[in-house]
């Protein structure tokens, strides 16, 4: 079974940065998918059911918290592992994200090595 990983960020340079960080996973058969807003992300998640989603919080149309809530609470896609990415490191945001159903939380700027090792750990479960 092929694993799928979705990268969601409204800033193209951040999507590219994450793609470069995780491109080695493609050699292991992981398919990288991309979305630039929450609406697009939600549609892709429903269609593709990725194993892992790196989801930016601050986005137009629909933010990461809303996407997370819909995926986890309304669609009950609990097999989709969601990591929220945010520039805000405040505890209240972290807690809100986890309340919305996020499995994990990472603060930007993220450490590429840490991101890759987390992705590998989740995808190899």
Which domains can be identified in the chain, with CATH numbers?
A: 3-123 (3.40.50.2300)
The gap from C-alpha 50 to its chain's centroid, in whole angstroms, comes to 10
80: left (phi over 0), alpha (psi -120 to 50) or beta: beta
pLDDT of 41 higher than 90: yes
Residue 97: per-residue pLDDT: 87
Residue 87: per-residue pLDDT: 81
pLDDT of 90 higher than 80: no
pLDDT of 1 higher than 70: no
CA torsion sign, 41 to 65 to 89 to 79?
negative
- The highest-confidence range among 34-48, 81-95, 102-116, by mean pLDDT, is 34-48
What is the per-residue pLDDT across 8-20, written as a single tens digit (0 to 9) for each?
999 999 999 999 9
Residue 89: per-residue pLDDT: 66
């Amino acid at each position: 079974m092929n694993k799928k990983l979705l990268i969601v960020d409204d800033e193209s340079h951040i999507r590219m940065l994450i793609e470069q960080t995780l491109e080695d996973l493609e050699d292991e058969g992981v398919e990288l998918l991309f979305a630039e807003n929450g609406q697009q992300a939600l549609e892709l998640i429903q269609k593709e059911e990725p194993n892992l989603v790196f989801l930016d919080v601050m986005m137009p149309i629909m933010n990461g918290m809303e996407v997370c809530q819909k995926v986890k609470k309304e669609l009950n896609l609990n097999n989709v592992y969601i990591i929220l990415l945010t520039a805000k490191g405040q505890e209240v945001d972290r807690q809100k994200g986890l309340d919305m159903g996020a499995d994990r939380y990472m603060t930007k700027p993220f450490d590429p090595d840490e991101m890759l090792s987390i992705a590998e750990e989740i995808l190899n479960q």
